[in-house]
Amino acid sequence: MRILLVSPRSLASEETSKWLRIPQLSLPILAALTPAGHDVVMVEEEVDPLPAAEAWDVVGVTAMTANVHRAYQLASRFRRQGARVILGGIHPSVMPEEAAEHADAVVIGEAEGIWPQVLDDIQHNRLQRFYRNAQPDLANSPLPARVKPRRLLGLPPYLMPIMATRGCPYQCEFCSVHRVYGLGQRHLPIDHVVADIVRNDPRLIMFLDDNIGALRPYAMQLFEALRPLRKKWCGQATVRFILDEELFRAAVRSGLRALFVGVETVEPDACAALRKSPGGIALYDQAIARCRSAGVMFHASLIFGLDEQTPRVFEHTLEFLLRNSVPSISPNILTPYPGTPLFERLTREGRILHTNWTYYDHTNVCYQPRNMSPEELAEKYIDFRRRFLSWSSIAQRLPAQWNVLPWAYLGMNLALRQATGRQEQRFQEYFTWLHNGRATPTFDAPT
């Protein structure tokens, strides 16, 4: 069979540069799971042209909430052309009945152990509506099929995404990871991870794990296995990971150069409500200083709009970032994704403004904040970004970056600075839509 695997673009795709884009592994894993004898093509629509005019037997589409509307459009197009369309990914996994209205079948959960069965059922004309997969044993996960990975993922030619673990032990109200992957954390065999790195020989590795250090014994063994490979790598972790001196030192020895850290908020009340604070703002200061002394870039993920936050959160956060010369940030507006406890709570409280999933992308206000209007949250959010990314702020923070990837520092700040201007325009369009009931945005992709 001719099989097309697609990751759709989202409304904000064209505003995301390679400096800010987090790559995915869904398509390479699906391709690797596909039995021999099939013709497989992978398309990341953000960077690859969509071969919509070609004839396909099967089209597999993996979707997140922000791009699921585009996924539904693609599903309708390919079904009209006679293809069997299978939907999977985070959003179809938490909203399977909705997804099933647009596809021939929906894969709920992870693909290992399920995708080959789906293809076999298609060939034998016994396709089911839903395929549910309880957490598979990752020891049976194949090495990703990294076909044309540089162009496919829109990444620098030296960067390779990889994943060693799935799941997260935390139960953050705003996150759906534990709903899809479970409360614990599962891991691939370390020799499996090493083999994937060795066969591709990248200069820089990006671990996509939600928390690379959650399983401490496994993490220590992984870092020891990485050390002789002499590769640089970046990943996601918590402040606790950085403050664990032995674990952090092992990570640095193994090639760690940058960490994406879920700071979320610097305000004590909001930290306490999240139940994941390491114990006070001073520990954040300590973690940032430890990263800097080790030559590791500290990239802070922030959330604005939490119930415990007031408009003062923007001043407090800016002061914290400048005082610590934090090199780069991901500034997010709280988003109540479907499938999360947050979405369920805000629905009960009548605070969900709409369910147009296109706008559920970390940068729009899709709910009624407790202490601000949606417009005030958006205005202060843009003002915060502009102040943090001003030329004076970039210059003020630059001296602290000389031994910590200074070119990456400049690249990420300039990319986010450019995206901020476009985001302001998107807010204007969004609130016009919100107040005037404009139709769902369309995606007229070239064929």
| Domains of the chain, each with CATH number or no CATH | 2-138 (3.40.50.280), 158-434 (3.80.30.20)
Using the predicted structure, report yes or no on whether residue 435 has a pLDDT greater than 90. Answer: no
One-letter amino acid of 123: Q
CA distance 37 to 31: 12
What letter does residue 233 receive in the DSSP assignment? E
The distance of Cα 27 from the centroid of its chain, to the nearest Å, equals 15
The distance of Cα 94 from the centroid of its chain, to the nearest Å, equals 16
Strands 165-167 and 185-187, bridge-based pairing: antiparallel
Q: What is the pLDDT of residue 281?
A: 81
Q: What is the pLDDT of residue 307?
A: 94
Using the predicted structure, report yes or no on whether residue 13 has a pLDDT greater than 60. Answer: no
Mean predicted confidence (pLDDT) in 415-433: 91
What letter does residue 367 receive in the DSSP assignment? B
Using the predicted structure, report yes or no on whether residue 444 has a pLDDT greater than 50. Answer: no
Q: What is the pLDDT of residues 151-170, one digit of tens each?
A: 444 455 568 899 999 887 77
Task: Using pLDDT thresholds of 50, 70 and 90, give the confidence band for residue 447.
Answer: very low
One-letter amino acid of 290: R
Q: What is the pLDDT of residue 47?
A: 79
Mean predicted confidence (pLDDT) in 230-245: 94
Using the predicted structure, report yes or no on whether residue 308 has a pLDDT greater than 90. Answer: yes
Q: What is the pLDDT of residue 52?
A: 77
Q: What is the pLDDT of residue 442?
A: 47
Task: Using pLDDT thresholds of 50, 70 and 90, give the confidence band for residue 44.
Answer: confident
Selected residue with higher pLDDT from 275 and 300: 300
CB 290 within 8 Å of CB 243 = yes
What letter does residue 226 receive in the DSSP assignment? H
Q: What predicted TM-score, i.e. pTM, was given to this entire model? A: 0.90
Mean predicted confidence (pLDDT) in 53-76: 94
Element (DSSP H or E) covering residue 42: strand 39-44
Using the predicted structure, report yes or no on whether residue 106 has a pLDDT greater than 70. Answer: yes
One-letter amino acid of 283: L
Question: By C-alpha distance, which of 95, 41, 34 is closest to 63?
Answer: 95
Specify the long-range contacts of residues 424-430, CB closer than 8 Å, at least 24 apart. Answer: 424/382, 426/12, 426/15, 426/363, 426/364, 427/364, 427/378, 427/382, 430/359, 430/364
Q: What is the pLDDT of residues 380-394, one digit of tens each?
A: 999 999 999 999 999
Using the predicted structure, report yes or no on whether residue 415 has a pLDDT greater than 80. Answer: yes
Q: What is the pLDDT of residues 183-225, one digit of tens each?
A: 778 899 999 999 999 998 888 999 999 899 989 999 999 999 9
Place of tokens 């003020």: 396
Using the predicted structure, report yes or no on whether residue 57 has a pLDDT greater than 60. Answer: yes
Q: Which of 168-182, 191-205, 294-308 has the lowest mean pLDDT?
A: 168-182
Task: Using pLDDT thresholds of 50, 70 and 90, give the confidence band for residue 149.
Answer: very low
Q: What is the pLDDT of residues 122-141, one digit of tens each?
A: 999 999 999 998 778 888 88
